[in-house]
Amino acid sequence: MSKDLFSNIELAGHTLSNRMTMAPMTRNRAPDNIATAMMAEYYAQRAGAGLIITEGAQISEQAVGYPATPGIYTQAQLEGWKQVTDTVHAKGSRIFVQLWHCGRISHPDFHNGDLPVAPSAIKPAGDAFTYEGLKPFVTPRALETSEIPGIVDEYRHAAALAIEAGFDGVEIHAANGYLIDQFVRDGSNQRTDNYGGSLENRTRLLLEIVAAVGGEIGHDKVGVRISPANAFNDMSDSDPQATFNHVTAALSGLGLAYLHVVEVSMTGEADSDFDTGQLRERFDGIYIANGAYDQARAQEAIASSAADMVAFGVPFIANPDLPERFRLNAELNKADQATFYGGDEHGYTDYPPLEA
């Protein structure tokens, strides 16, 4: 039977109405790190997606790295998110929250002057976005081995709150140069304990988090996002194909909800020769592809089984009714980059849907 973007698919015990995912995107509209009614409206407008993955939500105060990003570790944050899950469910979609620890992509301003933490004391090139504008990244503090179980437990706790808040599952953010990715890739990990060196060791933190979160809420409600070819946030690895083939094989067979792969580099440099097909082959569950897909490429990926679902980012910012527009081959709104990060409803909930 031929599949297309609009075919149903079973995920985390639910039948999704199509294979389009709204990709997680930071929008910096959560003052006090609490999700708002405006955010609930934004996500509900986009509930034509078979699955919504929220913007990253910090698992702890130490995990914060940007202004006005939501958290999921306090009761007040849980209450904020309930508005979001309620409105999205009322519109018939499913929603996962992305669990985020920024690691070294942060600044002491977010931590009462304390240093951000990382696998190793290696300063990333570039600047942090703080409440006072751009400030150069600092050299982070390398985590003590004894601190790691506490971080794993914070992921477990955040996942428990997520289910209480009504989410259908969680996505563990292991991509784009944030804490877990900093452990996985050797450009940012020079540890000599059980969490550095070999591939087994660099993958250990991710697998411990998956086990703790899966143990808490069920592995079928846990997705993982990776970005093997992404140099964003000053990331590098000496052998990305070997690293991410290993990571993917280790995640296979666990009964996870999905593997979500950012297939491009967000830095805009020439495409790498990374072969995502080798990941697809090594993972036994749902494979969500992401990275500059348009409708035609997405249809081709689904029809050829290169992917089971496709996640769209920027097109979902500008087109609340993106699935409907694809169905009708309608024109797309253009996204306004100036309103991506921070601000009010302008460029957020005021993109027009198609005329009735």
User: Which residues are identified as catalytic?
Assistant: 178
d(CA 55, CA 342): 13
Query: Applying CB under 6 A, which residues contact ligand PHB?
Result: 26, 56, 66, 175-176
Which residues are registered as beta bridge partners of 106? none
Q: To the nearest whole angstrom, how small is the minimum distance from the Cβ of residue 179 to ligand PHB?
A: 11
Residue number, 305 or 337, with CB nearest to ligand PHB: 337
Q: To the nearest whole angstrom, how small is the minimum distance from the Cβ of residue 298 to ligand PHB?
A: 20
Residue number, 232 or 326, with CB nearest to ligand PHB: 232
**φ/ψ of residue 327, rounded to 5:** -60, -40
Residue with tokens 């143990």: 215
Residue number, 84 or 311, with CB nearest to ligand PHB: 311
Q: To the nearest whole angstrom, how small is the minimum distance from the Cβ of residue 37 to ligand PHB?
A: 22
CB proximity list for 305: less than 8 A, separation 6 or greater: 3
Q: To the nearest whole angstrom, how small is the minimum distance from the Cβ of residue 182 to ligand PHB?
A: 13
Which residues are registered as beta bridge partners of 172? 99, 224
Decide if 45 contacts 349 (C-beta within 8 A). Answer: yes
Q: To the nearest whole angstrom, how small is the minimum distance from the Cβ of residue 40 to ligand PHB?
A: 21
Q: To the nearest whole angstrom, how small is the minimum distance from the Cβ of residue 234 to ligand PHB?
A: 13
Helix ranges, 165-294 (H): 179-184, 199-217, 240-251, 277-282
- DSSP code per residue over 28-94: ---GGG---HHHHHHHHHTTTSSEEEEEEEESSSTT--STT--BSSSHHHHHHHHHHHHHHHHTT-E
d(CA 285, CA 279): 11
Residue number, 249 or 318, with CB nearest to ligand PHB: 318
Kind and range of the H or E element at 143? Answer: none
Residue number, 176 or 245, with CB nearest to ligand PHB: 176
Residue number, 15 or 337, with CB nearest to ligand PHB: 337
- Scored b (16 or more CB within 10 A) or e, 135-145 reads eebbebebbee
3-state secondary structure of 200: helix
